[in-house]
Amino acid sequence: MTRIVSWNVNGVRAVMKKGFFDFLSREIPDVLCLQEIKATPEQLGARELTELDKLGYHTCWHPAKKAGYSGVATLCKKQPLFVTAGVPFERDEGRVLVTEHGDFTLYNIYFPNGRQTEDGPDPDRLAFKLEFYEAVLELVEEERAQAKHVIVAGDWNTALEEIDLARPKENKDQTGFLPEERRALREYVKKGWVDTFRHFHPARLYEGRLPEERDYTWWTYRAGARERNIGWRIDYQFVNKEFLPQVKGAAIWDEVHGSDHCPVVLDLKT
């Protein structure tokens, strides 16, 4: 079995002070995709880099050009065949890291958010987000057309359906749940990309449950939202439907703390 874990850590240096290495040495995923690392490898201490080496991880870094912002990293127990850091449409924001693993190609992505302001979503950032969704879809569809199997893992920054957040009515005008954002994400589903967690945990399993009894991946730090489980499910691992027979299971590890997000898990038969 191959286990792929994706986690927006909201600062890799911060999460390393909150039990990250205990988590990593306990779970030992085959691949760990990190988003919003907010650092370069040079900004990590020698002890942290040595610890990653001791655990046997090959680490691929793609920080943003702007210091302390965005960035992604992929940790692999087995060295990837190829690594591609960045794409032209990401604006030097450190959002896309591609690693090839033989049976599949893995996209580790930190999708933009629409940046909510007092007057509503920022029009420029919302437009960038929608363009980004479209460009990524075009990119992975090209890979798929070459008969490659692709996993798109990361923080997608959009809740797809009402079941994916605890307070849908209250957030209908908030970025992350706008109709145009949801349409952009739904285009992946229409094209044959599968939300692996929802595949194994369909909406019908939640019938009769209160919103606080559902599964989420992000909680605001305000008002004890995580303790009350008032959250959003905005972190996903999608696969092309042709690869689905090789997917064994998917999970959300909401018991793992250290960030305002929690890890999402994909298990492959390969």
Tell me which residues are annotated as active site: 155
| Cβ pair 150, 104 in contact under 8 A | yes
Instruction: Give the helix ranges, DSSP H, for the chain.
Output: 12-15, 20-27, 46-54, 123-145, 179-191, 196-200, 225-228
Q: What is the DSSP letter of 218?
A: B
How many Å apart are CA 103 and CA 15, to the nearest integer? 31
Q: What are the contacts of 96-100 at 24+ separation with CB within 8 A?
A: 96/62, 96/72, 96/136, 97/33, 97/60, 97/62, 97/72, 97/73, 99/31, 99/60, 99/74
How many Å apart are CA 94 and CA 73, to the nearest integer? 9
Phi, psi of 181, deg, nearest 5: -70, -45
How many Å apart are CA 31 and CA 108, to the nearest integer? 10
Which tokens hold the place of 183? 């349409």
How many Å apart are CA 270 and CA 156, to the nearest integer? 25
